[in-house]
Structure 1
């Protein structure tokens, strides 16, 4: 039994010694922190596994084009640098940076025309109220726009650096004649309706006349408004030039309408004189006074239009003296517009002193003429039977 124990002990010592020998041969320390086991390499074939051949993929090369972002530039108008100090009223000579007027506006002149247009406006309002004439609001609008123009001009003469005052004054002066034209067209339509034996001029009825010419006048109004706005103070040279061309087109077309309208007036007058010569209608003077006032109004406006065409056709350069002369402005713009409006104060379309008496007389004669024509037609038909 003891011998068996000794044999077992010897066997364990021998096994430990051989195990130590094997481990010491297969394990070698590389560093202080890790050990590398030198294990035998096992081939896949020896294990009976299939050999996997590596596959190489050939992908096409992708080229990304370079994206170029264009530079963005804002085409802003050049801002000038003031070189002249404004005076106490803000005046800067025309053509210099910061000049909103072509001259230093006269405060006394602007104040005088402000009062004159205010007076004619008040009279027109009173006349329209007394005579219960609703369509006279059109001529009241003309006087109102002129009043606004010269109030702005008077204020602007004391504050010439105010772009708003200069713009309002210029635009209202340029487009206010449109209201006078519209009123003239409406007055003539009523003259034709009341005093013509047929109620027509050529084949145009009074309603058609008013509708056509007032519509054309509205078109001319918007053309002038666009042009006047583009050519207002503060606009650059190129924009102002385009604006002036548009405005001149508007007033040129407007004058063409006035010429065509004048031909209709001539036609009406000739027919009316011929009818009176034959004694078919009463010889009242009411229509004559209205036609005289109408012609005077159109002449004043036409002179003003010609002045504006001459003024702007020469450009706004310093070589053109017309836009830089305030006396010419008052003589051919302010005075002409004042007369074109005041003439309707002097000869109002519905004045009780002659208007309604003449209207009644002419309407009575028209009924007689119409009745005679009807009787004559019946007589011819009776004779034919």
Structure 2
């Protein structure tokens, strides 16, 4: 039961929007997100995958968000702590989203014969979706900052929230487009990859689907939450925040700990060829690692300029 007197709710100078936040759950989620961060940190080093620092960054942003939530609850009039909590919790999932885009691109490279999906090379497809995720990030950051300042009118807050919601909406649109590509990749993988080798890549692909579902749940929650600004009542009931945002993102991070792409696609040969290697080989001589001309130890390709067989071995983000 909430205490009869709550400084966060009763103090006219409080940064919190008319409710009494509990510090206990904030401590708990700080620890839980901290554990996922440490696990991702160790896994990124263990598997030596440069792109895995993206999910590590997502985990540390989630952890930092709850550190600042705790500090904001303890220092209710501190605007900086509240803004940092508010902005970080809204933006952290975009790192997880970007990581999923990177993982699927590498799966296309490793488990198809052409390294293409709908005629687009895996590394180019990854780049496109990461850039789209950055666009959504910029929009959401702009809106979150505009809505979290001090002494704002309701019109100013709503303008910031509408910009944030626009960024969230296009993020979901990009996810739907990406899911279409993922389904097409799944069909292609079943044709190009031997059944005996399908168990692990399918587990990773289903994990990607689960993570995108959790991100979608969170997006729908945020759109409903801020549809009418703070007047919906949802922002003043923190249980919704914990269930539909933080728990969803915690499960997503934990799933990627358990089914880690670095374990399923190990070694340098599983990484994208460098731009220099792609240029040297030419478009017609680059194959996916499931191609008939790829060696068992890793994909190979024939250089269009020298005719020599070279091994792809460079980590690219």
Short-chain TM bin: 0.7 to 0.9
> Counterpart in 2 of 1:367?
293
In the superposition, the TM-score normalised over structure 1's length comes to 0.67
How far, CA to CA, are the matches of 2:186 and 2:253 in structure 1?
Answer: 23
User: Cα RMSD between the aligned structures?
Assistant: 2.5
1:314 to 228, 242, 248: 228
Aligned CA distance change for structure 1 residues 145 and 187 (closer, same or farther; 3 Å): same
Partners of 2:157 and 2:229 within 8 A in 1: no
Displacement of 1:365: 5.4
2:21 aligned with 1:111: no
> Counterpart in 2 of 1:100?
15
How far, CA to CA, are the matches of 1:364 and 1:185 in structure 2?
Answer: 20
> Counterpart in 2 of 1:121?
37
Q: How big is each residue's C-alpha offset from its partner over 1:204-255, in whole Å with a ceiling of 9 and x where there is no partner?
A: 1111111100001111101000100011152321210100000000000000
> Counterpart in 2 of 1:148?
64
> Counterpart in 2 of 1:179?
95
How far, CA to CA, are the matches of 1:206 and 1:244 in structure 2?
Answer: 35
Partners of 1:145 and 1:176 within 8 A in 2: yes
Displacement of 1:200: 0.6
2:103 aligned with 1:192: no
How far, CA to CA, are the matches of 1:168 and 1:283 in structure 2?
Answer: 45
Displacement of 1:137: 0.8
2:205 to 286, 291, 305: 291
How far, CA to CA, are the matches of 1:245 and 1:261 in structure 2?
Answer: 24
> Counterpart in 1 of 2:258?
346
Partners of 2:192 and 2:290 within 8 A in 1: no
How far, CA to CA, are the matches of 2:7 and 2:98 in structure 1?
Answer: 38
Structure with larger Rg: 1
> Counterpart in 2 of 1:49?
none
Aligned CA distance change for structure 1 residues 267 and 88 (closer, same or farther; 3 Å): same
2:134 to 183, 208, 218: 218
- Unmatched 5+ residue regions in structure 1? 1-86, 372-385
Displacement of 1:272: 2.0
Q: RCO higher in 1 or 2 (8 Å CA, sep ≥ 6)?
A: 2
In the superposition, the TM-score normalised over structure 2's length comes to 0.81
Aligned to 2:7, the other structure's residue is in SS state: coil
1:325 to 228, 231, 237: 237
Matches within 5 A, 1:2-41: none
Q: How big is each residue's C-alpha offset from its partner over 1:114-155, in whole Å with a ceiling of 9 and x where there is no partner?
A: 001111111111111111111111011101111111001111
Partners of 1:226 and 1:246 within 8 A in 2: yes
Partners of 2:111 and 2:192 within 8 A in 1: no
How far, CA to CA, are the matches of 1:88 and 1:155 in structure 2?
Answer: 19
Matches within 5 A, 1:232-251: 232-234=148-150, 235-251=152-168
- Unmatched 5+ residue regions in structure 2? 272-287, 301-317
Aligned CA distance change for structure 1 residues 168 and 364 (closer, same or farther; 3 Å): closer
How far, CA to CA, are the matches of 2:27 and 2:183 in structure 1?
Answer: 39
> Counterpart in 2 of 1:264?
181
Q: How big is each residue's C-alpha offset from its partner over 1:20-40, in whole Å with a ceiling of 9 and x where there is no partner?
A: xxxxxxxxxxxxxxxxxxxxx
Aligned CA distance change for structure 1 residues 333 and 341 (closer, same or farther; 3 Å): same
How many pairs were matched up? 275
